[in-house]
Structure 1
Amino acid sequence: MSTRVPIEPQRVDAPLTQSATFLVLSVTSTPSAIKIVRSALAGIDDIAKNVAIRDLNASFACTVGIGSRVWDEVTRLPRPAELHPFPEVKGKKHTAVSTPGDLLFHIRSERRDLNFEFERQLLDILGDSVKVEDETIGFRYFDIRDLLGFVDGTANPVGPAVPASILCTREDDSAGAGGSYIVIQKYVHDLKGWRGLSAEKQEAIIGRTKFDNIELDDASEKEQKAHKQLATVEDAEGNEHDILRDNMPFGSPGKGEFGTYFIGYSRRLWVVEKMLERMFIGVPEGMHDRLLDYSTPLTGTTFFAPSASLMASLDDGDD
């Protein structure tokens, strides 16, 4: 009787920490770029161990995502069924932009210095095989609030629902088994405009109370829906599909920059894409998420986080 080899996922469910670095890279066209990238990804655990050993209580973790453009060359394996570039979502008033990115490193720990050291060692190894598209430093803000003042991530799955919501199974797609789709968007906020709203108007836009995070009643079918309602996705049978958000605030008061880095992990990419359609196009069409009047996305990129087992197999010695 044949037995299935266990698939070890990456730490896509690592806990939210005090600090995170979101590093998006594009692979260059240098002759050795793909080989260097393959070797670096295969050895990512070695870099992580070298950094994490300095403080075992810091909950260090790094999740790697690979984009559609380089998946075939980097992995030399069939691509996950839903993996494709981030599609621009254009509504009547707001647009979810699509931006470049071949590799994502979601680096997080309780200590900023550990994240810094991991990124430094990683980029030393990758050298001129990559170009930095974006580097964003996130931080935990009080009791897991965003810079708009609301608790973020309340709808995340918990316990056994986490792997069921974010990890592809063999039954879903053999090429993606043990992996997870990742969508990232870097939003900047019009904090002055937002603060000009009353707390009641802010709560109506978000769909929760600001102080104690209590969920407000949903709007009716023809009424303007809150962000909470538009970001909830159901299938044709009425089953709700969760994603795991590891969002983090970022910014610089001296530069007047205030933002939220959205990062969503999902077992099914269509769930995140449907959520963005609901937000930017609206339900019904034209009634967009009013949060977008105060939050503008600067980036939009899709990745797939393959299993740790697949990552370790990349450096096979071939040219």
Structure 2
Amino acid sequence: MSADTSSHRVPIEPQKVDAPLTQHAIFLVLTVRDSDEARAAVRAGLGSISDLVKNVSFRDLTGALSCTVGIGSDVWAAVTGQPAPGELKPFQPIVGATHTAVATSGDLLFHIRADRRDLCFELERQLLAVLGDAVDVVDETTGFRYFDTRDLLGFVDGTANPVGPAVLDSTVLTEDDGPGAGGTYVVVQKYLHPLDTWRALTTEMQEQIIGRTKADNTELDDAVDGQKSHKTLSTIVDENGEHDILRDNMPFGSPGSGEFGTYFIGYARHLWVIERMLQRMFIGDPPGLHDRLLDFSTAQTGSVFFAPSADLLDGLGDS
């Protein structure tokens, strides 16, 4: 049973963090230039996001186009003029004995999703035209849905996602959580995979590392002690129960350049849940026994954002 699953009422309209899984996505991370003019331009641009989405989605109303906007701690006050959510802060690097979760720059995140690649492309194009020289692109990753929602390692991804009313319980802040009601914390990391090395493992070894069977996605028993699987290390349970997050990871890559990876994006009502998950993965539980998946997944980026309510976002154009 998940924690905090009592009646969860959000009087403020959240962004569409629970948009359905789509065939395509763009993960766009920007920095805001250090000037009052740039911050004002960003504020106005963010206030127009909903109109941009409507204009582009009108070309195909069945295309499931959406855009979730996250704002980083360094520009939160200047862009929103609102008190910062209690846990909002820059990504904290996690240094394990073998692997490191790196921190990278990022003031704005745009998670663009649709069932058509051209809809994602057109929204990104119009968005960057609106923001102009007020921003700089630091990362642009194009993801795609791979077969039956598998990652490039061959395993089904996102199995542990909450469903139904539990999605709001796990992701969206209420007024009881302080500043940020209707919003959600967002953590992104870009991982690269050495697929040749991974594929050299037996299927049984791969399954032990992941904690699920490869063919039919059956959950394997948790290890009582010693080395734990990725599934176990990324599950956070305490005296209040299990704390879920919402993942909408996407594979990305280019066979021509030999680049293959997974773009991790996690939405959570409490940032500490994702932080603890990453600590267990990179440091280990017990310490020293890190997540063996990291031997085949190298983190290239790491950033934290807060996706404010749709109401707050729409209102930025009026400020």
Q: How does 1:280-319 map to 2 (within 5 A)?
A: 280-317=282-319
Identify the residue that residue 203 of structure 1 maps to in structure 2: 207
Provide the rounded CA distance (Å) in 1 between the counterparts of 2:233 and 2:34: 40
TM-fit CA distance, 1:238:
4.8
Q: % of aligned pairs identical? A: 66
Identify the residue that residue 243 of structure 1 maps to in structure 2: 245
Provide the rounded CA distance (Å) in 1 between the counterparts of 2:227 and 2:11: 47
Identify the residue that residue 80 of structure 1 maps to in structure 2: 85
Runs of 4+ off more than 4 Å: none
Deviations 1:39-70 (A, max 9, x none): 01111100000001110001110000000000
Q: How does 1:20-169 map to 2 (within 5 A)?
A: 20-169=25-174
Deviations 1:223-275 (A, max 9, x none): 2000000000023x151100000000000000000000000000000000000
Provide the rounded CA distance (Å) in 2 between the counterparts of 1:200 and 1:111: 36
For residue 231 of structure 2, the aligned residue among 224, 228, 231 is: 228
Deviations 1:86-115 (A, max 9, x none): 000000000000000000000000000000
Provide the rounded CA distance (Å) in 1 between the counterparts of 2:201 and 2:10: 55
- TM-score, normalised by the number of residues in structure 2: 0.96
Provide the rounded CA distance (Å) in 1 between the counterparts of 2:176 and 2:18: 21
TM-fit CA distance, 1:315:
2.2
Provide the rounded CA distance (Å) in 2 between the counterparts of 1:231 and 1:210: 18
Provide the rounded CA distance (Å) in 1 between the counterparts of 2:71 and 2:106: 9
Provide the rounded CA distance (Å) in 1 between the counterparts of 2:135 and 2:10: 33
Deviations 1:22-45 (A, max 9, x none): 000000124410110000111110
TM-fit CA distance, 1:287:
0.2
Aligned partner of 2:112: which letter?
Answer: I
Q: Show structure 2 runs of 5+ residues with no match.
A: 1-8
Aligned partner of 1:154: which letter?
Answer: T
Aligned partner of 2:273: which letter?
Answer: V
Provide the rounded CA distance (Å) in 2 between the counterparts of 1:286 and 1:5: 41
* Residues 11, 182 of structure 2: 8 Å contact kept: no
Aligned partner of 2:159: which letter?
Answer: T
Identify the residue that residue 185 of structure 2 maps to in structure 1: 181
TM-fit CA distance, 1:313:
1.4
Identify the residue that residue 216 of structure 2 maps to in structure 1: 212
Identify the residue that residue 254 of structure 1 maps to in structure 2: 256
Provide the rounded CA distance (Å) in 1 between the counterparts of 2:240 and 2:198: 34
Identify the residue that residue 4 of structure 2 maps to in structure 1: none
SS at match of 1:262: strand
Aligned partner of 1:82: which letter?
Answer: E
For residue 197 of structure 2, the aligned residue among 182, 193, 205 is: 193
* Residues 10, 173 of structure 2: 8 Å contact kept: no
Provide the rounded CA distance (Å) in 2 between the counterparts of 1:253 and 1:6: 46
Provide the rounded CA distance (Å) in 2 between the counterparts of 1:41 and 1:6: 22
TM-fit CA distance, 1:201:
0.2
Aligned partner of 2:307: which letter?
Answer: A
TM-fit CA distance, 1:314:
1.2
SS at match of 2:151: coil
Provide the rounded CA distance (Å) in 2 between the counterparts of 1:231 and 1:284: 13
SS at match of 2:192: strand
Provide the rounded CA distance (Å) in 2 between the counterparts of 1:122 and 1:182: 20
* Residues 30, 139 of structure 2: 8 Å contact kept: yes
* Residues 10, 181 of structure 2: 8 Å contact kept: no
Between 1:105-114 and 1:26-35, the stretch displaced more is 26-35
